[in-house]
């Protein structure tokens, strides 16, 4: 997923104007060097970006503002009063702006990106998280999360392995049913695409009055 996103951005830049080529080269360098994929954001000071790109801080401010205005980046935390700003890559926008150049990379890449495309309501990101090095054991039988997971497996078998099975139960307190996911990207994908089905499963197996809360597994 990381390399596909970087490919999409770099090739989009190469198919654009000279100014766009430079802009995408800067963004790709920033993502490669400083993006925290687990937390799904980068937090880098403007002086550091200026050194990396060999430009002035004024150029950095202009570039960041352009990316935010174009929705390529989402401002997670503003940089004010000496605090460094934090920005998240807008995956939906990356797919949107790069879609026309996928075939230029190759048929296999275009097909893979079409499967990954979050904008396709019926698609599921086909990333096998169960093969990752940070293994999450299956929930114990008899626990509430085991019951919820089994219900999701029965109702949505095609989604369960990659999205629901790797989740780790954290707590069921104060009306918050907390689950831990592998990364910020996974959290946002679950919240966007699967919140309704997961809430239904929790209500059915655990009870009403609970709100599912996702955290990044540390």
Contacts of 149 by beta carbon, 8 Å cutoff, 6+ apart:
138, 139, 160, 164, 165, 167
Q: What is the pLDDT of residue 189?
A: 84
Q: What is the pLDDT of residue 139?
A: 67
Q: What is the pLDDT of residue 129?
A: 45
Residue 119 near residue 92 (C-beta atoms within 8 A): yes
Considering the segment(s) 2-116 as one domain, its CATH architecture is Orthogonal Bundle (1.10)
Low-confidence ranges of the chain (pLDDT < 50): 121-134
Distance CA 164, CA 152 (A): 7
Q: Which long-range contacts link 90-96 to residues 24+ away (Cβ below 8 Å)?
A: 91/5, 91/118, 91/185, 92/118, 92/119, 94/5, 94/8, 94/9, 95/8, 95/119
Contacts of 7 by beta carbon, 8 Å cutoff, 6+ apart:
105, 109
Q: Hey, where are the domains in the chain?
A: 2-116, 129-216
Considering the segment(s) 129-216 as one domain, its CATH architecture is 2-Layer Sandwich (3.30)
Contacts of 11 by beta carbon, 8 Å cutoff, 6+ apart:
98, 101, 104, 105
Q: What is the pLDDT of residue 104?
A: 96
């Amino acid at each position: 997923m990381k390399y596909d996103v970087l490919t999409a951005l770099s090739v989009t830049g190469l198919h654009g104007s000279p100014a766009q080529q430079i802009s995408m080269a800067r963004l790709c360098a920033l993502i490669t060097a400083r993006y925290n994929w687990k937390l799904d954001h980068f937090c880098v000071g403007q002086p550091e970006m200026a050194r990396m790109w060999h430009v002035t801080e004024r150029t950095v401010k202009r570039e960041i503002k352009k990316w935010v205005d174009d929705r390529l980046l989402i401002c997670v935390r503003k940089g004010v009063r000496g605090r460094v700003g934090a920005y998240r890559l807008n995956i939906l926008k990356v797919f949107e702006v790069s879609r026309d150049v996928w075939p230029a990379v190759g048929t296999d890449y275009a097909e893979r990106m079409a499967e990954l495309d979050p904008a396709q309501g019926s698609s599921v990101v086909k990333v096998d998280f169960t093969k990752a090095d940070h293994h999450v054991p299956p929930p114990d039988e008899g626990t509430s999360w085991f019951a919820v997971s089994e219900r999701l497996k029965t109702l949505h078998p095609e989604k369960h392995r990659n999205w629901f099975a790797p989740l780790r139960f954290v707590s069921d307190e104060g009306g918050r049913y907390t689950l831990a996911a592998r990364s910020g990207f996974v959290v946002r994908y679950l919240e966007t695409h699967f919140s309704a089905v997961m809430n239904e499963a929790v209500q059915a197996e655990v009870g009403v009055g609970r709100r599912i809360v996702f955290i990044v597994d540390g």
